[in-house]
Structure 1
């Protein structure tokens, strides 16, 4: 597997990008310290609009402080129990303030806040000992909601939570009981300089589960560390295996940015895709990266 970067574009009006979904011609991008979902043209990356998810008085500097932000890290496109198509943005759950989520219908209308605490309480006991809860990515298949736990300083802390889609959404909206028997599937991810990679983005497209993983020099789920590199991977759900390629420029230089999310922009040929990635430099800066992946 090969992952080659073709271009990187700064997103100056979008702080701390943390996830992306493409629906039709529009790319929906979330930030981990802003109260908005940002809408971009998926081809040109031109800013189209921004939708406020919640009110806050702490965005005056352009970033909500780390101690109080909801830390929106995961984004997935799905159909809500009301029948509306849209995107579900989820907080990481790494602190009590980060157990909030929002469903945003793509047809317009106000976002709906979702309490994630009851769902996350079901998942925490499934983590390996020593791993702090930290959801960083989400994807949706026809039958499952997939939530990705990010490793931070624990080699066996990369976990995929597999939940029944309909039952979980009914639970989140107060229409049904808690989903029974959620599955926690551990994964072995690459390491750089002795630090394990952690899941950071996911997308399920045309039967393929794409993921991103980045490596930071930190053992803290809240505090950032120096970024060592990023990977793109393909997960085989049936075999419970994953194949990864480190992101690099066309001349072979390793890419040292922190990839936070991915979307499949188009299929170029069999086993060959063009991805749109978003990055966060942990200082409020964001970029959009176009990469080609060959299986």
Structure 2
């Protein structure tokens, strides 16, 4: 059995539509789905530093980029000293990947349009149901989490045995049935690897579109065994929040503590970071 405790950890001005995060000692990295910046927030000094990662001259603004043009950075994951920021692939404008080196601050851009096209083809997921919202990179293997909030409800995990996402040849897709609220199935919104356990978050949103927002019915946390890709548990953690990012904060024998970020689907440049304690 598991129990959860949710509380506000920080309120940060200057960040809107938070969709992914990663904690590195005192530095919390946060990405927004409609922004051209990577946000670096010091949890001790409560100071915010913005790192520009988009340099598209066609964009008139780098905050609150209009929906048809936004890169839809839904994914922020980490391996070694690099952060990986990925677009959802839900429209042709959302196929960009950014690699950011935490030590050298070097930025590498990659176009994943070819990769995303291959993922859709091999899994038989059409354009209207392809919507990546989470990723885990082990150094040799990628796990990409498709959010099943389209008409076909295609929740699932792409498993790719290759480090370079731009040049893949084979992929496996694993379908998942997630818990529902009022007959609305929840869908993956992010995931993080802790040892050999994948912790995921999922939201039940009353919509059949990967583009249009709907009524938020609640969110879950759960886990999946890394080796078998079988779900081990799920717990409801909220009845009204749309959590879109999860990061490990700490773990001991009795509990695991995460930080969560919420996309409130507004243009306000303010985000709330939550602390979730999962007790065993």
Q: TM-score, normalised by structure 2?
A: 0.90
Task: Report the 3-state secondary structure (helix = DSSP H, G, I; strand = E; otherwise coil) of the residue aligned with 2:209.
Answer: coil
Secondary structure of the structure 2 residue equivalent to 1:33: coil
Q: Deviations over 1:168-227 (max 9, x none)?
A: x1x52xxxxx33321101111111122111111111122221111111111111111111
Deviation at 1:74, TM superposition (A): 0.6
2:23 corresponds to 1:22: yes
Q: Structure 1: which 5+ runs fail to align?
A: 80-84, 173-177, 248-253
Say if 1:26 and 1:129 are closer, same or farther in 2 by CA, change over 3 A.
closer
State whether structure 2 residue 135 is matched by structure 1 residue 138.
Answer: yes
Structure 2 gap ranges (5+): none
* Aligned-partner Cα distance in 2 for 1:6–1:154: 33
Task: Indicate how the Cα distance of structure 1 residues 240 and 140 shifts in structure 2: closer, same or farther if over 3 A, else same.
Answer: same
Task: Pick one of 251, 260, 265 that aligns with 1:282.
Answer: 265
Provide the residue aligned with 1:31 in structure 2.
32
Q: Secondary structure at the match of 1:266?
A: strand
Secondary structure in 2 matching 1:30: strand
Equivalent of residue 102 in structure 2, options 92, 102, 106: 106
Alignment of 1:1-295 (within 5 A): 1-41=2-42, 43-44=43-44, 46-56=46-56, 57-59=59-61, 62-79=63-80, 85-127=81-123, 132-154=129-151, 156-166=153-163, 169=164, 172=166, 178-242=167-231, 243-247=233-237, 254-267=238-251, 269-284=252-267, 285-295=270-280
Contact 1:156–1:187 under 8 Å retained in 2: no
TM-score (norm 1): 0.86
CA contact (8 A) 1:156 1:188 kept: no
CA RMSD of aligned residues (A): 2.0
Residue 48 of structure 1 and its aligned partner are, at CA, apart by: 3.6
Of the structure 1 ranges 21-30 and 255-264, higher mean CA displacement relative to structure 2 is found in 21-30
SS in 1 for 2:13: coil
